[in-house]
Structure 1
């Protein structure tokens, strides 16, 4: 019998058991990260959907490698945050999360999805543009670096019904 060493992936709704993973990945992904209490409040918020990407293989148990939080109000949605474990970047995890968000929003007849992204984050910009997002605005000084310098955020939007 043949066993694959390739990881299997699943995107599902987050649970309270995922709190420490969300906090850890966010802390390792952003200079100014959210704490466990922040995530707990968001998981309990009825307007927020939290999806996690879990991977497992024959050699490794299932683990959270990324997540996305989406706030939905009426027929519009906003990505509050998305993060992939630094050790799992460039593996398609961010794309899998975003494609699942878009599928769910389309199913729920959400018209538009917005997000803010650091204008210097070339991998994220490339992903969002490849999915059909377009720049619709800017926020000066929106992000802060470790040295407390301010950077520009692009506001991006996609028409979900047209994607």
Structure 2
């Protein structure tokens, strides 16, 4: 491999079960993507519940350790699963991590006996909506004024409720 190829090499990621050790990085990424952000202790409280599980994408070809690329947190109960939150570090956007994390979440939901999976997504999040459509989710409802107004937009944003039959 040429030296220039080494520096231009795309990051590679593996998907792992989320543990308490991952939570500071998960909270950091969540803070970049969402307001209000969830703290590591909030993630810990959720992950401590038997019905909640998560996955993380960790870089496996980094010389400086294994960087966190993204996460997904789910809950399964009563034959249904829901995506509580999912995020990909903007540095690694368009690398397929969202797809891979969601595939892990769907697989876990099926393993847990869920027949359907739900999530809520900001109607303005075009990239996420496209990903969820590719995964087979379909719109089953809407929550008007679900998200707080941002500094750029004075009106509260709506959320689409999406469903995937497993």
The alignment's TM-score, normalised by the length of structure 2, stands at: 0.88
Q: May I ask how many residue pairs the two structures share in their alignment?
A: 160
The one of 129, 151, 156 equivalent to 1:150 is: 156
Partner residue in 2 for 1:65: 69
Hey, what's the Cα distance between the residues in 1 that align with 2:92 and 2:46?
24
Alignment-derived partner of residue 51 in structure 1? 55
Q: Residues of 2 paired with 1:88 and 1:149: CA distance? A: 29
Is the 1:69–1:82 contact (alpha carbons within 8 Å) kept by the matching residues of 2?
Answer: yes
Over residues 118-161 of structure 1, what are the superposed CA-to-partner deviations in whole Å (9 max), with x where a residue is unaligned? Answer: 0010000000001100000000111123336311100000001x
Following superposition, the deviation at residue 42 of structure 1 comes to 1.1
Comparing 143-152 and 126-135, the one that deviates more = 143-152
For 1:45 and 1:51, the matched residues in 2 are separated by: 15
- Counterparts of 1:1-163 in structure 2, within 5 Å, are 5-57=9-61, 59-147=63-151, 149-160=155-166
Shift of 1:20: 0.8
Alpha-carbon distance in 1 for matches of 2:140, 2:96? 25
Q: 2:51·2:76 contact (CA, 8 Å) conserved in 1? A: yes
Whole-angstrom distance in 1 between the partners of 2:42 and 2:71: 15
> Aligned Cα RMSD in Å?
1.9
> In structure 1, what is the Cα distance between the partners aligned to 2:108 and 2:76?
11
Structure 1: runs of 5+ lacking an equivalent:
none
8 Å CA contact 2:75–2:83 kept in 1: the answer is: yes
Displacement of 1:17 in angstroms is 1.0
Q: Structure 2: how far apart are the matches of 1:15 and 1:102? A: 18
Secondary structure at the aligned position of 2:59 is classed as strand
Q: Structure 1 pair 12/89, CA: closer, same or farther in 2 (3 Å)?
A: same
Q: Structure 2 stretches of 5 or more lacking a match?
A: none
Displacement of 1:59: 3.6
